[in-house]
Structures are given as C-alpha cells and as structure tokens.
Structure 1
C-alpha cells in the first residue's frame, strides 16, 4: 500500500488492506494503529457502508485533532472522525459532507481521484481529467498544481521556518 501514515498523538496510523485477509474473513480496508509508547498494534475497522477503494480513502487527522479519514465518491466527499462513546469505546461519526459538484465544469471528467493529503495545510490533492488540483478543506478554495492527469500518488512537501524578527 503506498499511502503515507499520519501521526496523531503518540500513534502512527495507516489505511491498510493486505493483512485484512489474515485478520478478517473479508478483504476490506481497515486502520492499523501503532502506539509508539506501548509498541503495540491495534486494528480499527471502517464503517461497514463505506465502499473502499484505493484512490477514494485517505487517513488524516480530524479537524478536532483526533483520528479521521476522507472518503471520496465521484464529486462528493465525506470527512469522518472517531468519537469516544460514553462507555470509553469509540465509533466513527460523519463529521462533514462536501459536494464538489459546483466545480465539475472547472475540473471536467466524471469523477475525482484522491491522490494525496497535506496535513499542515489540511488540503487534499485530486486528479481530474484536466489536471491535479489542491483543495483546502477549511476554506474550500482550490488551485491547479499540475496539467498532468491521472497521477496516482502525490506526497506534498510542506516546510515551516521561524520568522526573522
């Protein structure tokens, strides 16, 4: 699986499917968590009704800082997050739904392909028939970053530096 991990708190998370055949009786995607403190692994299943697809899911920090993921389907996206229940367990809840339909004329094509996520700027990269775009999830602004179509993985580079006073 060539998706990057995300660090939330003291745990690394990956979206995974290959080991699903060993761990479960079906080949669905799940989240693999490696706790850096306890050096232990845990498995979290995605909601049952999510149709998994390699270029439709991406693990990411939720807007409140917890574990989340984005699910892309044609020109719609759903942002999900893990929310603790009253009994100490946690469940996936839909945090926000996004309709990219208004942008269809700009982006062209029948659907979007999720090709990357930039954690620091909370942005996704999508490939369309007219190129690759970055979409900032907070403001919903977007810009074209490449004319090349159908890239399958992007690893955005973000850097930070201290301002000179």
Structure 2
C-alpha cells in the first residue's frame, strides 16, 4: 500500500478488478483539465485504465474542441525538421517528432494531431501520429500513379469531431493528361480502403500546380491554393458531398503579377483570403448578396511594418505558413520569422529559417494518454476524490 502524501489515505498500487464507483467522478475531473501537457495528470493504474478508454478520449477532444494547442511546426526545406512552439514545461521532446525514413518525402500538412507526408519515389502517403508513435503507409490509388512534371499531388488528413480512433486522407492531384482534370480520392481508416475518384475539369491547358501550401479546412470543405496557367485559384473538396470544384480568385487578384495570397479562416469559420502586397496584408471574405450569390468583400488591412517593427525600405515579408486552428499566419522578414494571430494581432518572433522553407503547424487537442512521459505540474489523487493535488508514487 502507498499513502497519499497530504491526506495520508492508504492507496493500492494496482487497480481493482471491478470498476470503481468513483470512475464517473474521476472522468468528469479529468475532462476539465486544460489540454496543455504541463497540466495533464501522471496517471496511476486506475487513471491509466480510464484515460486509455476510447470513449473518454473522444469526450476529452469534444470538450476541448476549439482550443487546439500549437505544439510546433514541421519546417520543410531543406529536408524536414520540427521546431517546438511552447516554452517549458509544455515543450515536447524533439525525439518524438523525428521521422526516420529512408526515402525522400514531402510534407503535405497536419491536422487533428496527425501529420501527412508524400513519398513520390514509392508513390505512397504516410500518416503519422507523433504523440502515439503510430505510422501507416498507403499506396496511392491507381489513378494517382503519375510522377514528375506530368502531374502534381497534394492531400490532407483529418478526423471527425471527437473521434480518436479513425481518420480520413483526402488525396488531390492532376495527371497532366488532356483534357485537363483535377482528381480527388478519400481513404477511410474505418474501411481500410480508398473510395472512388471524383474529378473536375481544369479550364486551361497551362500548368496546374499546387503552391506547396497545405489544405485549409473551413466547415465541411478543404481548400487548396493552386496556380492554373499563371492565374491563381482555389481547389475545393466538399467532404459531405464528395465533390470537387475549381474557382479563380476575384477580380485582378488572379493576374500573374497579383500579390501573394493564402487561404485562411474568415469570421464565422468561413473560407477567406489573406493577400500580401509588400508590407500590407489584406483580409477578404465571402458573403451572399440579395440574390443569394456569393461575392468577395475586402476586410481589414494589417500594416506589417508597423505591427512587427519592420524597416519598410528593406525586402518585404513573405507568407510561409498558416495555423488554421489558431488562425495565425507565419511570415519571413529580413531579420526573423514571425507568427501573427489574425484576430488579436499578437505575434511571436521566431528563429529565421532558410529561404524557401515552409511551416506546417502541428496543432492538436491533447488526449491524456498515460504512455506519454511528460514532466507534470498537476498531480491527481484518483481513488478518493482528493482535491489537494497529491503525488501518488508508482
């Protein structure tokens, strides 16, 4: 028997065979823990049983939906490295985010605690859960077996709200054949197979290129920034309808000399754009007019030189990443990289990366799985509803 260090109650070191009457109360207490690693409990054997329960983990994710923590970013080029975001004690060990592969691989994006990579040599995609240490390689569907200048591939990974057991991979691409079409196909971990492909015509015989940016999820649609024969557009995949659509940017914003842009979440969770012209970042969003037609409207402008204290006589910043759950854009300036939160305009100064690098933010609501060995500030006495924050020896 072990004793609680403050309340001196005697606690068993191994879990009882039968479920405890306090499991319901313990579940409610754990559910209210913040998602940061430093606030998660070091579970005793009883906590381990509860925290490993898929139903509880699903409830934990639903409870903290909308409060995803930015743990860091995979930085692509040259190679792929991981840059942790939070300061100690929330900083996670780098070893947990080192992907050991023999093949050259390309980061496609991260979402819901999963990361997606493309291995062009093997024509495979890799789904990786760094926190659980799980990996799954998938051969691309037969319609996506094209390489090099003849075609281009991108994709996204996501889970349903609160689902910690299953995920979907959406693969999109263009095969380079005539007539030009864009393709999409969905893999479900629930069925273990790829579904049928859907397509949409590309209204040009010029190059169709994914711009290296990960997809942005707004509502039930994924959005990719693409370039079509020098014009800029958005490829949209509707997850519910399983439909694909390509549209160009409004007005003069799709000319070859148009400013930089990235797809972002606008007010109300809708799709929006952030255009960058030198030091001015301009937010656009959509709304429906009186006839029910969706039109583009400009929003506020952000003067980055004033916000970040940049010298407007130097090279203007570039957009190099977007964190959709935190609604934050990454910029590379002359002196450093910056992460700017679009709603609050608060920003963080980051180490400067190599020219050509791109941020793939890794955001997740932590599921408190006891196998993760983090330094913990909060301790829980689970069996007797002790509220003193007791340390239970293992």
Which TM-score applies when normalising by structure 2? Answer: 0.37
Q: Does 1:76 align with 2:280?
A: yes
Of residues 27, 34, 47, the one that matches 2:237 is: 34
Which structure ranks higher in relative contact order (CA pairs < 8 Å, sequence separation ≥ 6)?
A: 2
Q: Which moved more, 1:7-16 or 1:145-154?
A: 145-154
Which residue of the partner structure matches residue 59 of structure 1?
263
Greater helix content:
2
Match of 2:293 in 1: 89
- Please report how far the alpha carbon of residue 101 of structure 1 lies from its aligned counterpart in structure 2 after TM superposition: 2.5
The answer to whether the Cα contact below 8 Å between 1:55 and 1:115 also exists between their aligned partners in 2 is no
For the residue of structure 2 that corresponds to 1:38, the secondary structure is: coil
Return the offset for 1:117: 0.6
Tell me the CA shift for residue 161 of structure 1.
Answer: 2.6
* Structure 1 pair 143–52 and aligned structure 2 pair: CA distance change class (3 A): farther
Query: 29, 47, 61: which one pairs with 2:250?
Result: 47
Q: Is the 8 A contact 2:317 2:332 kept in 1?
A: yes
What residue ranges of structure 1 are gaps of 5+ in the alignment? Answer: 22-26
Map 1:6-155 to 2 at 5 A. 6-17=216-227, 20-21=228-229, 27-50=230-253, 56-103=260-307, 105-106=309-310, 109-155=314-360
Structure having the larger proportion of residues in strand: 1
* d(CA) in 2 for partners of 1:132, 1:142: 10
- Any conservation in 1 of the 2:238–2:244 contact (CA below 8 Å)? yes
Task: Confirm or deny: 8 A CA contact 1:129 1:149 kept in the other structure.
Answer: no
Contact kept, 8 Å, 1:128 with 1:149, in 2: the verdict is no
Give, in whole Å, the separation in 2 of the partners of 1:161 and 1:45: 37
Give the match's secondary structure for 1:143.
Answer: strand
SS in 1 for 2:358: coil
SS of 2:306 mapped into structure 1: helix
The runs of 5 or more residues in structure 2 that have no matched partner are: 1-209, 369-377, 381-394
CA distance in structure 2 between the partners assigned to 1:95 and 1:67 by the alignment? 13
SS in 1 for 2:269: coil
Question: Structure 1 length as normaliser, TM-score?
Answer: 0.83
CA distance in 2, matches of 1:52, 1:79: 20
Q: Please tell me whether residue 5 in structure 1 is matched to residue 5 in structure 2.
A: no
Distance in 1 (CA, whole Å) between partners of 2:285 and 2:214 is: 18
CA distance in 2, matches of 1:15, 1:70: 12
> How far did residue 63 of structure 1 move?
2.2
Q: Pick which of 131-140 and 100-109 moved more.
A: 100-109
CA distance in 2, matches of 1:28, 1:139: 32
- Deviation (angstroms), 1:80: 0.6
Residues 131 and 149 in structure 1, CA contact (< 8 A), matched pair in contact too: no
- CA distance change for structure 1 residues 59 and 14 in 2, over 3 Å: closer, same or farther? same
